[in-house]
Amino acid sequence: MSDSMLKICRAAPVVPVLTVESVASAVALAQALVAGGLTVLEITLRTPAALDAISKVKVEVPEAIVGAGTVRNAKDLDAAVSAGSSFAVSPGATSALLDAADGAPIPMLPGAATVSEAMALNDRGFKVLKLFPAEPVGGVSWLKNVGGPLPQIRFCPTGGIDAEKAPDYLALDNVVCVGGSWVAPTALIRNEAWSEIEKLARTAFLLGKRG
């Protein structure tokens, strides 16, 4: 499963972290992001519309690899699987959640904020982790420092990253992609400014990422 998560993370340099208020907007939003080249989408379980949005995007935008974010417990993970998520993302990792992930049919990207957490998750078989919240815990400097002692782990840093900061992260060997909400600002979603979101997505896609 960890290899599957790594493959998903490598599909695009930026994973949009989306808070969706309506199912209808989710489909149009996903279409705009995919048109811009960002095919991996994380819809966070922070709104009542999230699970239905995942299901709808799965059907209406088949080019998208849509997953559930803010998965905090086994119940969230079960709901994400039932909605048709292709992957799950957690802000952290509890023993109960990891046990549930072991038996889940989809891969998980668990969150870590310390070296000890990263080591523990790697011991559980996770090869790629979400560094969260990236900027507050040290960001680029943190990742540079752990690259030597933990060369086997790859990261998707998320939290406080924007278009200006993303290239510094993507230049690191142990960063496979970054997560961020800047490609789909709430104001643009509410105004249905899909062409503007597509432009933001295209710019993010062009940041590129080797290997």
Catalytic residues: 42, 130
Q: How far is CA 11 from CA 38, 92, 183, in A?
A: 8, 23, 16
Pairing of strands 14-18, 154-155: unpaired
3-state helix, strand, coil in the chain (%, to 5): 45, 15, 40
Positive or negative torsion for Cα 69, 75, 81, 83: negative
Alpha-carbon distance of 77 to 9, in angstroms, equals 19
Query: Taking Cα atoms as reference points, which of 182, 153, 197 lies closest to residue 9?
Result: 153
Report whether 184 contacts 44 (CB < 8 A): no
Please give the angle made by the CA atoms of 41, 28 and 88, to the nearest 5 degrees. Answer: 20
Q: Number of helices (H) and strands (E) in the chain: give both, helices first.
A: 11, 9
